[in-house]
Structure 1
Amino acid sequence: MNAQRVWTVAHKDLIEVLRNRQALFPLIVIPLGLAVVIPASLMDFITSPDTSDFAGALMAFMTQMPAGVAPTHLNPDQLLVYSFAVFFMAPLFLLIPSMSATVIGSSSFVGEKERRTIEGLLYTPITNRELVLGKILASLIPSIVVTWTAFVCYALLVNHYANPVVGEVFFPTASWVVLMLVMVPLIAFLTVALIVAVSGRATSSQAAQGTSFIVVMPVILLTVGQSAGLLLFDTKVTWVASGIMVFINVLVFLAVARIFNRERILTKLR
Structure 2
Amino acid sequence: MLTDIWTVMRKELKEISNIRERIGLISILFLIASFGILLPWQMGRSWIESPITLIYWAWLPLFLVITVVADSFAGERERHTLETLLASRLPDQAILFGKLLAALTYGVGLTWISLLVGLITINLGHSPGSLIFYPPDVAFAVLSISLLSGGLAAGAGVLVSLRVKTVQQATQLLSIAVMVLIFLPTFGLQMLPAAWQERLLKSVANWDVTQTVLTVIVILIIIDSILIGAAMRRFQRTRLISE
d(CA) in 2 for partners of 1:161, 1:236: 32
Change (3 A) 1:110 1:207: same
Change (3 A) 1:84 1:183: closer
Tell me which residue corresponds to 1:58: none
Tell me which residue corresponds to 2:22: 22
Amino acid at match of 2:15: E
Q: Quick check: 1:193 aligned with 2:151?
A: no
Listed as ranges, the matches of 1:1-270 within 5 Å are: 2-20=1-19, 21-22=21-22, 25=25, 26-40=27-41, 42-43=42-43, 82=46, 86-164=50-128, 171-209=133-171, 210-214=173-177, 217-218=180-181, 230=204, 234-268=209-243
More helix per residue: 2
d(CA) in 2 for partners of 1:203, 1:128: 19
d(CA) in 1 for partners of 2:164, 2:24: 22
Residue pair 1:9, 1:131 contacting (<8 A) in 2 also? yes
RMSD of aligned residue pairs (Cα, Å): 3.3
Residue pair 1:175, 1:234 contacting (<8 A) in 2 also? no
TM-score of the two chains, using structure 1 as the length reference:
0.69
Unaligned runs of 5+ in 2: 190-200
d(CA) in 1 for partners of 2:229, 2:59: 24
TM-score of the two chains, using structure 2 as the length reference:
0.76
**CA deviation after TM superposition for structure 1 residue 152, in Å:** 0.9
Unaligned runs of 5+ in 1: 48-80
Amino acid at match of 2:22: Q
Query: After superposition, what is the alpha-carbon deviation per residue over 1:93-127, rounded to whole angstroms, capped at 9, x for unaligned?
Result: 22211111111212343322222222211122444
Residue pair 1:178, 1:235 contacting (<8 A) in 2 also? no
**CA deviation after TM superposition for structure 1 residue 186, in Å:** 1.4
Residue pair 1:193, 1:253 contacting (<8 A) in 2 also? yes
SS of the residue 2:222 aligns to: helix
d(CA) in 1 for partners of 2:183, 2:59: 8
d(CA) in 2 for partners of 1:143, 1:233: 29
d(CA) in 2 for partners of 1:216, 1:158: 31
